[in-house]
A and B are shown apart, each in its own frame.
Chain A
Amino acid sequence: MPDLLLELFSEEIPARMQAKAADDLRRLVTDKLVAEGLVYEGAKAFATPRRLALTVHGIPARQPDLKTERRGPKVGGPDAAVQGFLKATGLKSLDEAKIQRDPKGDFYIALIEKAGRDAIDVLAEILPVIIRTFPWPKSMRWGARSGKPGSLSWVRPLHAITATFGLETEEPDVVKFSVDGIETGQTTYGHRFIAPAAISVRRFEDYEAKLKAAKVILDPQARKDIIFADAKELTFAQGFELVEDQALLDEVSGLVEWPVVMMGSFEPEYLAIPDEVIRATIRNNQKCFVVRDPKTGKLTNKFVLTANIEAADGGKVIVAGNERVIRPRLSDAKFFYETDLKTKLEDRLPKFEQIVFHEKLGTQAARIKRIERLAAEIAPLVGADVAKATRAAHLAKADLLTEVVGEFPEVQGLMGKYYALAQGEDASVAAACEEHYKPQGPADRVPTDPVSVAVALADKIDTLAGFWAIDEKPTGSKDPYALRRAALGVIRLIAENALRLSLTKVAASALVGLSVRAAEAQKLPSDLLAFFADRLKVQLREQGARHDLVDAVFALGGQDDLLMIVRRVEALGKFLESDDGKNLLAGIKRASNILGIEEKKDKRSFDGAPDAALYSLDEEKALAKAIGEVKAEASAAVAREDFAAAMSAMAKLRPPVDAFFEKVRVNDDDAKVRENRLKLLNEIRSATRAVADFSKIQD
């Protein structure tokens, strides 16, 4: 079956857009092919700075013929309906229609046969539409045609379209169409500088090979592999180690069609700058990799650049040029760093009085004060020294006003640590300056030093309480203040450090520092708690746990100790995986269902202790006895926070519950016995509430 080759040749496409654009192109074309009844065998898309390319192989040469039946009016129906039917189906007269009998009468049926079209014609129709409506994040107009309405928008000026379709063994056909004056053809171009000549291509295989000969590596992965392997080899050969950087590799591979990796160096004096700052300087501004000395684990005065050409002089000028650019950049960074060191962190704080954190939440200075107070309160709960936690909270944001962080926001926190250490702060205080931002996401490390933990919690809970107080909660996909991330951070800090604290109390305390109306202050902590519950569910679901178990635990009410919630959920999850757990759950559900129905019928609940004198069957007595024992045992276990033991206790309910349902008819004819049995069922439900509300658990 024939293959399609499509190339969209343009001026330089931003690196960050290339991967998604290739993917979009593949998806849009193949979806449309399938929708047109052209089921293909495989498709692959590629991007370089100057082209998007797509190959789809194994496309049927023709669409299948389509046969459809269309029901018309009743035989003998009004003439207008018959005429409409003929017009809509294209039949010349009713003689061409079939008659079909069904219970409602005889109906005319038209058989419509639509012949499949040649795939190449279908392609000529769908491709220009896809190009015209391509989902670039930002697109533009250009050239003389942009003076007229409706001109093509593309990410940067589009120059040529190659589109061929055909069998491997034959000369392919050009898929003929034109977009904004660009006619499709078989001509593309090689590397802008090394091999700019026009190239005539037939199909994907010779296209890719001819591009390679013209110094263009089509496949981004291949370019990445080359850059990565060459960079590693180059550094290794000199006894060094490449500092790997996937995001940078992705970007750099989108800036070149023919990667040529080279190494440059800078003056060793710049190594006095912290490694992270050197890296940020070289990476952000120059898109170069930095190099480590494996003996010391520290950076060395080398960098790895990726050029786009094989230069006539072997790259001497390019390396020298890059070195000339990097030098003043590092010189700036060194100057910033040294300037920063001259001012103590606390001396920067007064400036925060002028910096608004949020219009409705006051200045940064006010926020720092709140975090200090909260950190001091949390410190004893997490085993941190109060004075150190307060000090750390006092200094933790100061580096935001340093020159280095102004230049490279990504080293915020880290610079705080360096500057704190430089001014002789306690190691935990310095560490907290960096770590209080953590964890930044689900993959980020959670701090363990109690001082860091206290400040990290205070920082996040202040943020959450603050935005809750001004009613700026996340909605749908909008979470501009990253409150979900902050809540997840709190959850992870607590769970992974096995901390015991009442979230409601801490949240209430955080609100004290904010101006909140009394009425709101009452309900905000529980609102916030519900948000934590939500986040916990998401977190557990992502870990593969069941989110309904979180509901089952929260439904107990009064649960604001996250660690205990997590432990309960874990124990519950394990229990429900056992046969005892599954059967007991079934039994409890059955009891709940019966109760639910009868409660509705009688319009009353069946609370209260059953009357032992009314038990007539052994199974009733056995169940009552078991409930009594299990209740005591489970409550004791819960009190010791031994949830596994509480679950084991629950398991003991299973045989008597099973036996009860097997032998006992709840709705006895004697109303008193019936009521008593319903009360017993209610006891099952209440006994199990020692660990969770089983009614919230899904089957």
Chain B
Amino acid sequence: MDASLPAHMRPERSFQGFILALQRFWAEQGCVILQPYDMEMGAGTFHPATTLRALGPKPWNAAYVQPSRRPKDGRYGENPNRMQHYYQFQVIMKPSPPNLQELYLRSLAAIGIDSAVHDIRFVEDDWESPTLGAWGLGWECWCDGMEVSQFTYFQQVAGVECAPVAGELTYGLERLAMYVQGVDRVYDLNFNGREGDAKVTYGDVFLQAEREYSKHNFEVADTAMLFEQFKMAEAACRKYLDAGWREGNRKEHLMALPAYDQCIKASHVFNLLDARGVISVTERQSYIFRVRELAKACGEAWIHTEAGGAA
């Protein structure tokens, strides 16, 4: 930890200080620090900076915060740690550096988790995303018995073999910050690190949103519109993919990113429909399959783009 930081910026005092410390740490490791992607998504992995950039031969090191929307996890703000909107901090390094575990442990030290007094463990966890057509091997990282991060060596993303393999780290920011700040309820997190009147809590920022979105996700979201949006996003994704092949031959693609946006959209719309309980068990599989097919087609297009290594 940086001793020169003013108290309100320290990771154990402020949520934003916590995020800044992580960003600074990974910036020092040569990562580009991106900002959240401007679309709703269920996990930081959906960000094209991970999903698409994990593919192809070109090196890529990035870190960013991504708001994760999980409509089904909403609890109207009443559960101490479950929310339909929370933050993930995402790191991707391609190829995975040989000392990625060590870097991860140093990043924990940077946010105040000292491995001399905390019991840090790498516990088997095989990661798979059926909607993204992706899988990898790695661990959940435990700190004193609590899962604080996911650590994955991507083997396949969007149906494409990763060559070389990227290492991905995902930190559950609220959970980690709660641990470091020593609070049991997420809404009690000190957001800005100030005290007294100047203090802003996580609840001040997000509690109302949790209530409103829970109501929206579970009770009101317009399902007829959402079903239509799913179809539209799916069709648009296909259309952009088809239109993106330069001169119609399947050698170079010019629109993988706009097409992939539609895949992200379809995935989120599906999550909303799922939260509304209007998708049956059998239909669920078929929706997941449809999103996966989009993701795979986008992956295929991406590896024919410049950043995907085609040129």
Contact = CB atoms under 8 A, between A and B. Distances in A.
Interface string A132-176: 000000111111111110000001110100000000000000000
Interface in B155-184: 155, 162-165, 167, 179, 184
Nearest to B120: A193
A287 B140 CA distance: 14
Given A325-B146, A328-B80, A318 B126 contact: no
Contact of A322 (B144, B162, B164): B144
Nearest to A153: B155
Interface residues of A, number: 44
Contact of B95 (A143, A308, A325): A143
Contacts of A430: none
Contact of B164 (A139, A140, A144): A144
Given A138-B126, A140-B153, A324 B121 contact: no
Given A146-B164, A305-B145, A311-B117, A14 B124 contact: yes
B124 A321 contact: no
B138 to A, nearest CB: 8
Interface stretch (B96-104, B197-205, B218-226): B96-104
Nearest to B123: A255
B117 A312 contact: yes
Given A147-B57, A325-B145, A326-B145, A318 B164 contact: no
Contact of A156 (B80, B137, B145, B164): B137
Nearest to B136: A140
B208 interface: no
B117 to A, nearest CB: 5
Interface string A315-331: 01110111011101000
B232 to A, nearest CB: 30
B144 A141 contact: no
Contacts of A156: 137-138, 153
Nearest to A156: B137
A145 B145 CA distance: 34
A321 B144 contact: yes
Contacts of B164: 141, 143-147
Instruction: Name, among A138, A142, A318, the residue most crowded by chain B CB atoms within 10 Å (CB to CB).
Output: A142
B116 interface: yes
A143 B145 contact: no
Contact of B137 (A140, A148, A256, A309): A140
Nearest to A327: B184
Given A140-B153, A317-B117, A12 B165 contact: no
A143 B165 contact: yes
Contacts of B81: 328
A143 B119 contact: no
A49 B139 CA distance: 12
A324 B184 contact: yes
A635 B270 CA distance: 73
B118 interface: yes
Contact of B117 (A139, A305, A318): A318
Instruction: Name, among A14, A139, A147, A313, the residue most crowded by chain B CB atoms within 10 Å (CB to CB).
Output: A147
A146 B97 CA distance: 11
Given A318-B119, A324-B184, A142 B139 contact: no
A68 to B, nearest CB: 46
Given A305-B145, A328-B80, A142 B153 contact: yes
Instruction: Name, among A16, A156, A286, A305, the residue most crowded by chain B CB atoms within 10 Å (CB to CB).
Output: A156
Contact of A144 (B95, B122, B162): B95
Contacts of B123: 12, 15, 255
Contacts of B117: 311-313, 316-318
Interface residues of B, number: 36
Interface string B64-102: 000000000000000011000000000000011110010
B254 interface: no
Contacts of A157: 96, 98, 153
A382 to B, nearest CB: 37
B115 interface: yes
B119 A307 contact: yes
B143 interface: yes
A8 to B, nearest CB: 16
Nearest to B99: A159
B116 A312 contact: yes
A311 B116 contact: yes
B98 A321 contact: no
B268 to A, nearest CB: 26
Contacts of B119: 307-309, 311, 318, 321
A322 B95 contact: no
Contacts of B122: 11-12, 49
Contacts of B136: 140
A321 B95 contact: no
Interface string B110-135: 00000111111111101000000000
A16 B57 CA distance: 33
Contacts of B146: 321, 324-325
A572 interface: no
Nearest to B309: A147
A308 B119 CA distance: 6
A446 B155 CA distance: 46
Instruction: Name, among B123, B124, B145, the residue most crowded by chain A CB atoms within 10 Å (CB to CB).
Output: B145
A47 interface: no
A324 B175 CA distance: 12
B116 A147 contact: no
Nearest to A310: B116
Instruction: Name, among B115, B124, B137, the residue most crowded by chain A CB atoms within 10 Å (CB to CB).
Output: B124
A291 to B, nearest CB: 16
B179 A140 contact: no
Given A140-B137, A318-B144, A146 B162 contact: yes
A447 B179 CA distance: 47
B144 A317 contact: yes
A288 interface: yes
Contacts of B179: 321, 324
The 9 closest A-B pairs by CB, nearest first: A321-B144, A14-B124, A147-B164, A12-B122, A322-B145, A307-B119, A146-B165, A144-B95, A140-B137
19 contacts: A15-B124, A140-B136, A140-B137, A141-B153, A143-B98, A143-B165, A146-B162, A146-B163, A157-B98, A256-B121, A287-B145, A288-B145, A311-B119, A317-B117, A318-B117, A318-B144, A321-B143, A322-B144, A328-B81
Interface of A: 11-12, 14-16, 49, 138-148, 155-157, 159, 193, 255-256, 286-288, 305, 307-309, 311-313, 316-318, 320-322, 324-326, 328
